[in-house]
Amino acid sequence: MKNNVILSVLLISMLLLNSCSTRYLSSIYAPLDTTVDYANTSNWAVHPDNIPEQLNFISLDESTLAVDVFFVHPTILTSKKDGTWNGDINNPDYREEVLSTTIKYQSSAWYGVGRLFAPFYRDAHIRSFQNKFKPIGGDAALESAYQDVKASFQHYLENYNDGRPILIASHSQGTLHAGRLLKDFFDDKPLQNQLIAAYLVGIGIKKDPFTSISLMTSPSETGGFVSWNTYKRNKLPNDYETWYKGRIVSNPITWDNQKSSIYAEHKGVLYSDLKVYPNSMKIEVIDGMIWSRTPKVPKRILFSLVKDYHFADINLFWEDIRQNSKLRIQEYLKKS
């Protein structure tokens, strides 16, 4: 999920890295024998006391609201030549990739909306999601990754939250872990009263995944979650039946039950020039996913070369997400 060349080149490169090829090296899984010290702010990709330069393009021209955003990044470890199971957050190249991709182009949608927290964590290699690898290390790698995320969230709660409202945001593998955070810390538990909303993006979520946290179907609703996956119009992925059909899908432009959205309703794509391009997306909601027309952005021909827009699930609706998050926060604060 990688200068100011066009964002589509960056994202398409990430897509190719995350392709569904099964030709991966693998090794025998060995449990991680260390823990991450989240008291050390250098182990956070974003922390109020450690803001990376990759977010400097956002002008904080308004007061940050008295809420917190906890963001869990997607899969970074994708190389077919890498036989390891979990990412190495002490590797400078790994950290730079986290910061220059998902932090810059995804978590930025929430930067300045509230205090932003995003941990470095030892994500599971992309092959962990494939059935042939799950029993030999995939499931264990995903569990190890979640334990890092859980530890970082626990540290955040114990040292920084102080009763502040929380917004959860995530993409892809990050959403798998964020969903578990909701179950472990919020669902039918006292902390649920502090939940503003959860943006669980980029992974298929089955209906009724929680006991008392519901799908939000209006733009100002709070206390629930939204979710979507994006694909090119009139195309379906090969694994549609397994990963998408029957799954929950929200409209990230209107935030209601509207089954389609026109260009005029779209608030804006974040592009590689770090400009926001409004009125660029026309979408329709189908069973389990969003179908998108080719985005109206510079050199859009590059987007027309791919079918799967998973790599841009957040970027395509960056300003829509930002404005909607502010609305939900304001509504939450009114009621509290």
- Exposure of 290 in the CB half-sphere (CA atoms within 13 A): 32
Look at residue 1 and tell me if it is in a domain: no
Residue 20's pLDDT is 38
Is 171 domain-assigned?
A: yes
> What is the per-residue pLDDT for 302?
80
Q: How far apart are CA 213 and CA 193, in angstroms?
A: 11
pLDDT of residue 29: 83
d(CA 149, CA 106): 18
CB contact at 8 A, 28 and 137: yes
Tell me the per-residue pLDDT of 38-74, one tens digit each, with 9 for 90 and over: 999 999 999 999 999 999 999 886 667 899 999 999 9
Average pLDDT (290-305) is 89
CB contact at 8 A, 227 and 205:
yes
Q: Is residue 143's pLDDT more than 90? A: yes
Q: Quick check: 293 and 282 in contact, CB under 8 A?
A: yes
Domain that holds residue 74: 7-335
With both helix axes pointing from N to C terminus, report the angle between 173-181 and 138-156 in degrees, rounded to the nearest 10.
50
Beta strands in the chain (DSSP E): 44-46, 68-72, 115-119, 166-171, 195-201, 225-226, 230-232, 260-261, 269-270, 276-277, 283-286, 289-292
- β-pairing, 195-201 vs 115-119, is unpaired
Q: C-alpha 134: how far from its chain's center?
A: 22
Q: What is the per-residue pLDDT for 27?
A: 74
Q: What is the pLDDT of residues 186-237, one digit of tens each?
A: 999 999 999 999 999 999 999 999 999 999 999 999 999 999 999 999 999 9
309: Cα separation from own chain's centroid: 13
Tell me if the pTM is above 0.75: yes
What's the pLDDT tens digit per position in 76-86? 999 998 889 99
- pLDDT(18) > 70: no
- Give the Å distances, CA to CA, from 316 to 16, 87, 119, 137, 241: 18, 27, 23, 33, 24
DSSP reduced 3-state for 183: helix
Within-domain flag for 2: no
Q: Which residues have CB under 8 Å from 166's CB, separation 6+?
A: 67, 68, 69, 70, 191, 194, 195, 196
Number of structural domains, the chain? 1
- 8 or 205: which carries more pLDDT confidence? 205
Residue 203 belongs to some domain of the structure:
yes
Burial class for 197, CB neighbours closer than 10 Å (0-12, 13-18, 19+)? buried
Element spanning 97, H or E = helix 92-98
